[in-house]
């Protein structure tokens, strides 16, 4: 009887903690990807300012990073998809901000 109670308590704790842990992992992956894309946006801004070629970038924490530059070289926008692909992160050197679209 006591063993069944212990198993039931462990089951309840697991049911509560596993979704919280998964949310924590997803949030951490999104934050890591956002840090990576922001760093790439800064590198691109420096390259544009110095009138050099924007370096190729291989993402390590994001599934994909793409960058587009305007015709006047005044804006550069990067877009990244974090692991899981649930959100899209966009950074712009014109606004110096990153936004996360749900």
CB atoms within 10 A of CB 89: 23
If one looks up domain 2-101 in CATH, what number appears? 3.30.1300
Kindly state the percentage of the chain with pLDDT values over 90: 8
0.85 surpassed by pTM: no
The C-alpha angle 38, 27, 100, rounded to 5 degrees, equals 45
Give the separation between CA 45 and CA 54, rounded to whole angstroms: 8
User: In this predicted model, what pLDDT tens digit does every residue of 52-72 receive, in sequence order?
Assistant: 887 887 778 887 777 777 655
């Amino acid at each position: 009887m006591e063993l069944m109670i212990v198993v039931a308590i462990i089951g309840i704790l697991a049911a509560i903690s596993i979704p919280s842990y998964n949310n924590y992992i997803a949030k951490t992956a999104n934050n890591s990807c956002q840090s990576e894309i922001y760093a790439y946006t800064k590198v691109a801004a420096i390259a544009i300012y110095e009138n050099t070629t924007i370096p190729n970038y291989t993402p390590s924490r994001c599934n994909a990073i793409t960058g587009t530059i305007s015709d006047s070289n005044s804006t550069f926008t990067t877009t990244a998809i974090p692991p899981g692909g649930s959100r899209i992160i966009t950074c712009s050197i014109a606004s110096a901000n990153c936004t996360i679209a749900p």
